Structure 1
């Protein structure tokens, strides 16, 4: 059913307390009714959330309490090929054989993994080399301690 046309005296304000006619624009200077969408082309009222699917206003600050998420960077297969090894198995062995040096190797292994995730290849390879050397030293020291213990105790 088509909407009814507005009466001839549509320019006159409606009686006090009477709702405006359906489909009629609100009178100038009157706020829209609660829950009613703003008129086409009118700016949204302060404190109202934007409509679903509407782009955020350029000058509007981000909503309070909403954490800003950095855009996720997806690494290409070529970048994934440059991953520096973090020597996780050797690091676990190093912690078992000689924990003082093995725990330092765990730290550098973690830094290698983080640098790989962030595509910081130079840092990843530097930390990977440190991890490898620390792992070897910790395992050799641990084996030496075991050897001395078995031989002389």
Structure 2
């Protein structure tokens, strides 16, 4: 297959998976609105995605590429609040230093916590995959031995 075909296939796969994750987010928002839940729809969506993955109703490969892209572009999702805050120049004139400090520290905290959580998830996945491969190797060696 040509490289352009593989790139197009990867792009379509990413778009479909991001669309699926967006659909899940919209469904969570709808559920929160209908049931008047006191928790954010993002938490409901995350719990829903976790449940679907844990029950294996949604295989990981159906969201892996889209989730990887979203995580890779995560910083872009923090830019709009900063740009929107520039719209309120009078507030900056009065509370400029404290607002700027709050924005910077808040952004740093969000990025650090997100990085730590992602690192923990990747380490967990690595350990889980290593255990699976070790179990498979052990099973394979016992079959060969018999």
TM-score, length-normalised on structure 2? 0.29
TM-score, length-normalised on structure 1? 0.28
